[in-house]
Each structure stands twice: as structure tokens, then as C-alpha cells.
Amino acid sequence: MRTALYHPDRDEISLDKVLHALSDPIRRDIARVMHEQGPRVCGQLDYPIAKSTLSHHLKVLRESGIMHTEVRGTTRVITLRREDLEARFPGLLDAVQVTAPAPERTLSTV
């Protein structure tokens, strides 16, 4: 039996953890994709990294309070916790450019 995934409650979301999570360009881009396209299944995220590395990035985003992960059978649906983040830190997603259009360069050059 699997244990439930950890998601901090809204009032437990820490600015330090959120900023740490968004300091990585791939994690920031994952958040941007969620902002633009809405919930995604893990398999829909295409980055030039190993699956284990992508899983690590998603865990950091989830445990920081940026993303919510819902397990549906063998699928995991990732959602940006925009309302919670805006309630805790108004304007933060705009300030770190999560809501900005995708950069012109590819992530492989980051």
C-alpha cells in the first residue's frame, strides 16, 4: 500500500522553500507550463533530463507547496497551486516570471 504524498497546507507554505524551488530553471519552467496549460500528466512534460531527475524536480515543487499531485491509478496529475500561492505571497508568481511567456532559448542551454 502506498503512502499519501505530502502537500503542505496553505498556511505551511514557506517563502524560503518556494523561492528555492523556483530557483531552478527547469522547475520554474514546469510552473510556467502549468500556468499556461493547466494540469498536466507527468508523461506530458518533455525535458532533456532523466525521468528520475524530473521526478525529483516534481517532488521539490510539490513539497514546497507550488504544485499539487493527484495520483489516479498509475497516472499522476500535476496542478499549479496558484490560489494558495497568491493568497500567501501576492504577486510572487509574476515577480519570478512564472506567468511570463516561455523564453526563446531552449532549456538544454540553461
DSSP per position, the chain: -PPPPP---GGG--HHHHHHHHTSHHHHHHHHHHHHH-SEEGGG---SS-HHHHHHHHHHHHHHTSEEEEEETTEEEEEE-HHHHHHHSTTHHHHTTTTSPPPSS-GGG-
* pLDDT score for 104: 61
* pLDDT score for 97: 77
pTM, whole model, 2 decimals? 0.87
Mean pLDDT, 10 residues at a time, the chain of 110 residues? 85 96 93 92 91 96 97 93 96 83 55
Q: Of 80, 89, 45, which Cα lies nearest the Cα of 61?
A: 80
Distance (Å, whole) CA 28 – CA 80: 11
Q: Of 88, 83, 77, which Cα lies nearest the Cα of 42?
A: 77
**Which CATH code is given to the segment(s) 12-97?**
1.10.10.10
